[in-house]
Amino acid sequence: MYFPLSEEQEAVRDTARRYARERLARIQEEDERAGIFRREVVAEMGELGFFGAIIPEAYGGTNLGFLAAVLIVEELAAVSASYASHFVSQTAGPGLCIIRHGSEEQKERYVPLLVRGNYLGSFAATEPDAGSDVASMQMTAIRGERGYILNGTKTWITNATIADICLVFAYTDKGRRHHGISCFLVDMGEAKGIIKRPIEKLGLSCSVTGEMVFQDVEVPGEALLGAEGEGFSILMEMLSITRLFAAARALGVSRACLEGSINYARQRRQFGKSIAEFQMIQEQIAQMYVEHEAARLLVYQAAANRDRGRGDLKEVATAKYMACEAAARAADMALRIFGAYGYALEYPVQRWLRDSRAFPITEGTSNIQKIIIARELLGL
């Protein structure tokens, strides 16, 4: 597929590809099996400028744009979807959100640290009984003498046990439903009374996920990001961006499935010939290719339109839905093509299969994406 790229975009894509193949490929399988997260990898990616692609230069970024950022994430995810997830937790989520809604003090203090990979970021909206239905969250932020007191539980939070900062969404006025949710920039090194525990997952084992329990956690008034009651709109804006990068990660995995299946089909022989000559194998590879290319065009177009200031909810939801579903199907087909070897831990197919199952769930389920698309089309 041809998609016009600038020299800068091609250069940053090539840098990310080299880093993924020369660095991440050497540690990926070992880290996945041991469930290891290497903080130095985030610092290395920060030093290479990956996290700064959508951040203004004034705060340590390169401001290369959304398409450049998507190219970076796709290349990283083609080798390690786990380590690629840090783009969201560093700048597509908290970093850019602070840029758009934070005070000048918050921007100057935290954004450069996130961009460089010196601080690990996180954001916490999901609760045990509040996933897609954000307004059903129970967490509260009550005004105290010196700021706000947070109480509640957040779950399925990336970097929950290791984050240096976290954007926490809580009710400051439950009577106003969506309009009563506010956002707080919590410095995890300063906040006291947060109980954290990790969650063991099916895949993405190099990405730490966990639960946070806030028990009378006091944060200063300056921790408020934006104004009271703006939390829901801040969260929806942020998710429209993080979904784009969930789609980019899915692109990387579907590409790995496609390339891996092509290589295996050419080498594997049965009945005296390469299995690439079998029409059922050809059908599956063709299906993978068509869906991957369609998804890639949608994701690149959504990113390019963001750079032009023309992005909309429907476009991102369409890209996210297509890319994430295509990745899950590609992993299924790769398993069939590899046969019994695809079931073996020594081959990457099992990792593609496990990792791909997260994409239709994270950053808004596939069903939620279809609802967004339909409502935008119907004007509801």
- What CA–CA distance (Å, rounded) separates 243 from 366? 11
- What CA–CA distance (Å, rounded) separates 201 from 354? 9
Q: Give the three-state DSSP class for 199.
A: coil
* CA separation, residue 256 to residues 319, 352, 353, 356 (Å): 18, 8, 11, 11
Active site residue 363: yes
- For strands 181-187 and 140-143, give the pairing: unpaired
- What CA–CA distance (Å, rounded) separates 41 from 6? 27
Give the count of alpha carbons within 13 A of 293, CB side only: 9
Which residues are CB-neighbours of 136 under 8 A, at least 6 positions away?
127, 129, 130
Tokens standing for 294? Answer: 């369609």
**Counting beta carbons within 10 angstroms of the beta carbon of residue 290, is it exposed (0 to 12), middle (13 to 18) or buried (19 or more)?**
exposed
- For strands 123-124 and 165-171, give the pairing: parallel
Residue tagged active-site, from 32, 291, 315, 363: 363
Q: Give the three-state DSSP class for 269.
A: strand
Hey, which bits of 103-241 come out as E strands? 123-124, 140-143, 147-158, 165-171, 181-187, 194-198, 209-220, 224-225
- The 8-class DSSP code of residue 311 comes to -
Q: Are 333 and 327 in contact (CB under 8 A)?
A: no
Hey, which bits of 289-373 come out as E strands? none
> Nearest Cα to 124, choosing from 177, 78, 203, 185?
185
- What CA–CA distance (Å, rounded) separates 99 from 109? 11
Question: Would you please indicate which residues are annotated as catalytic (active-site) residues?
Answer: 363
